[in-house]
């Protein structure tokens, strides 16, 4: 009998949110492309994600469904609440994933056997780490945001141990007063240049979960991640430049994992134009952009999954965009929780100059010649996409890592400005600052420089080297 053919495969497990699934799919494609036909990838997502991404298809990258036991009451627009799927990840999905991994290792009768080389686990989906261990499979981690954000989370145990923060993540008083507005540069976590306040740290921001639960979530993820020999980071190598300000008291332990930053590479793969979105894009906005003058359009998007911005803030943005007198494209999901606050008959009033769509093909929008700037929530994938296309940014951070990302955009890289509020006057003023005058020219110069380094320059070179090291690790298993 002829020797049985074996398919070498990696399994990737993302956290169930658009901003996590997208970079994981990019990573899967990057690994497959560098496997020269010898490696395939399976991205395992909960069933409620899979239902929204049935259109995804790419050579040698499979998107498979893990039963979650979660009632998907959100329909096509909104996903289940975080409390329900976080419970499912700990109490229902592990057995489902374990069965899938064991089946993959055995192979189907009469079919080509699958040799599962390793499992790549999103650190926010740390539940999958012990599952892979039970299956005797090697595991590496994946961090979907900046290394700076990982740093702020990785030092939580040390900050608690030294009595700087409480077990609920609050800053403990050193002198009898609470200082949530304290610059965290004073704590030597991140550079003082960022001007980040303590209350901007990701575990303190608004969430549907109690703050203590969020800290417990991070502590559990960090504990599980201790066994990982390597963590891939979806970030820009040397993200803080060469400044000595990057040296911190609470640096990452020297004996911890190898951290390999590969972000520029993941968002520079144009060989496949397969969608990675859970929502159907309205491509009529591209036809509309084709009719606009070069560099004239303001693009507005606050992401897909973060808590919708309050109605009064949506009102402020709507009036500010109208008052700017400039053409704008606004991606705003067609759901009451997102569009509440739009003034009556607003779409009719701005028709022709403004276009509102439920979801936009964002990469196509950002690379369009008509685009002038991007008003954004500072989700990390959007930041990378905008920087890659050389688009200036107006920042309105909402939650999670948005405030750290914003600080780098504004104070470290100088490629955007921050909106002080959603008031009509502030929105209009920021648009004018970015689109006109010397400040706008400076922002464009700086974003062009960053674009160069992450597409063909030093950061891209480092990212390629890091992914090559990862591929060597795979080939040596």
Q: Is position 64 within any domain?
A: yes
Q: Is the pLDDT of residue 191 over 60?
A: yes
Q: What stretches of 107-155 show up as alpha helix (H) in DSSP?
A: 128-134, 147-154
CA distance 358 to 304: 10
- Convert the pLDDT of each residue in 226-248 to its tens digit: 999 999 999 998 887 654 444 55
Which of the listed residues 144, 171, 192 is the one where a domain comes to its end?
Answer: 144
Across 59-73, 163-177, 448-462, least confident range: 163-177
Which of the listed residues 100, 123, 144 is the one where a domain comes to its end?
Answer: 144
Q: Is position 460 within any domain?
A: no
Which of the listed residues 119, 144, 169 is the one where a domain comes to its end?
Answer: 144
Collapse the DSSP code of 329 into the 3-class scheme (helix H, G, I; strand E, B; otherwise coil) and give the result: strand
CA distance 66 to 61: 16
Check residue 198 and report its DSSP letter: G
Instruction: Kindly state the helix (H) or strand (E) to which residue 449 belongs, with its residue range.
Output: helix 437-455
CA distance 253 to 310: 40
* Domain total in the chain: 2
- Convert the pLDDT of each residue in 80-137 to its tens digit: 667 778 888 999 999 999 998 887 655 544 444 557 789 999 999 999 999 999 999 9
Check residue 165 and report its DSSP letter: B
Q: Is the pLDDT of residue 170 over 70?
A: yes
Q: Is position 349 within any domain?
A: yes
Q: Is position 434 within any domain?
A: yes
Nearest to 51 by CA among 78, 81, 11: 78
Q: Is position 157 within any domain?
A: no
Question: What DSSP assignment string belongs to 44-113?
Answer: EEEHHHHGGGTT--BTTEEEEEE------TTTTTSPPPHHHHHHHHHHTHHHHHHHHHHHHHH--TTS-E
Please state the pTM of the whole predicted model: 0.91
Nearest to 450 by CA among 299, 247, 240: 240
CA distance 125 to 156: 18
CATH of the domain at 346: 3.40.50.2000
Provide the residue range defining the domain that includes 94.
Answer: 7-73+81-144
Q: Is position 182 within any domain?
A: no
Q: Is the pLDDT of residue 443 over 80?
A: yes
Nearest to 232 by CA among 473, 467, 476: 467
Q: Is the pLDDT of residue 176 over 60?
A: no
Q: Is position 98 within any domain?
A: yes
Q: Is position 2 within any domain?
A: no
CA distance 440 to 450: 15
CA distance 192 to 32: 40
């Amino acid at each position: 009998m002829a020797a049985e053919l074996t398919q070498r495969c990696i399994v990737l497990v993302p956290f169930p949110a658009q901003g996590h699934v997208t970079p994981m799919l990019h990573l899967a494609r990057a690994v497959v492309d560098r496997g020269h036909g010898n490696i395939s990838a399976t991205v395992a997502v909960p069933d409620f994600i899979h239902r929204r991404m049935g259109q995804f298809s790419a050579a040698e990258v499979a998107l498979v469904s893990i039963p979650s036991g979660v009632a998907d009451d959100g329909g096509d627009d909104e996903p289940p609440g975080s409390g329900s799927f976080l419970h499912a990840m700990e109490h229902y999905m592990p057995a489902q994933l374990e069965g899938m991994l064991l089946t993959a290792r055995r192979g189907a009768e009469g079919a080509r056997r699958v040799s599962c080389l390793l499992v790549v686990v999103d650190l926010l989906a740390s539940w999958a780490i012990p599952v892979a261990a039970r299956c005797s499979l090697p595991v590496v981690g994946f961090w979907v945001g900046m290394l700076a954000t990982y740093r702020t989370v990785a030092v939580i145990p040390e900050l608690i141990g030294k009595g700087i923060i409480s077990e609920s993540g609050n800053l403990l008083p050193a002198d009898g007063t609470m200082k949530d507005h304290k610059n965290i540069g004073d704590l030597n976590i991140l550079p003082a240049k960022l001007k980040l306040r303590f209350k901007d740290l990701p575990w303190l921001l608004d969430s549907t979960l109690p703050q203590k639960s969020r800290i417990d979530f991070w502590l559990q993820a960090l504990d599980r991640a201790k066994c990982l020999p390597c963590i891939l980071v979806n970030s820009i190598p040397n993200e803080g430049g060469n400044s000595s300000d990057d040296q911190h008291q609470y640096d990452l332990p020297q004996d911890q994992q190898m951290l390999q930053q590969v972000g520029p590479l993941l968002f520079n793969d144009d060989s496949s134009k397969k969608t990675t979105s859970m929502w159907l894009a309205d491509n009529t906005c591209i036809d509309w952009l084709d009719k606009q003058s070069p560099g004239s359009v303001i693009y507005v998007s606050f992401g897909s999954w973060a808590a919708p911005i309050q109605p009064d803030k949506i009102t402020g943005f709507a009036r500010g965009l109208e008052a700017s007198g400039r053409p704008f494209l606004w991606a705003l999901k067609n759901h009451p929780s997102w569009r509440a606050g739009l003034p009556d008959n607003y779409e009719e009033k701005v028709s022709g100059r403004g276009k509102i769509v439920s979801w936009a093909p964002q990469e196509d929008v950002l690379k369009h010649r008509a685009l002038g700037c991007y008003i954004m929530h500072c989700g990390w994938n959007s930041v990378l996409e905008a920087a890659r296309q050389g688009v200036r940014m107006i920042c309105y951070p909402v939650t999670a890592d948005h405030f750290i990302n914003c600080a780098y955009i504004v104070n470290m890289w100088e490629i955007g400005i921050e909106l002080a509020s959603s008031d009509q006057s502030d929105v209009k003023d920021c648009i004018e600052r970015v689109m006109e005058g010397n400040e706008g020219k400076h922002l464009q110069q700086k974003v062009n420089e960053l674009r160069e380094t992450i597409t063909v320059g030093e950061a891209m070179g480092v990212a390629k080297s890091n992914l090559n090291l990862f591929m060597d690790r795979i080939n040596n298993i």
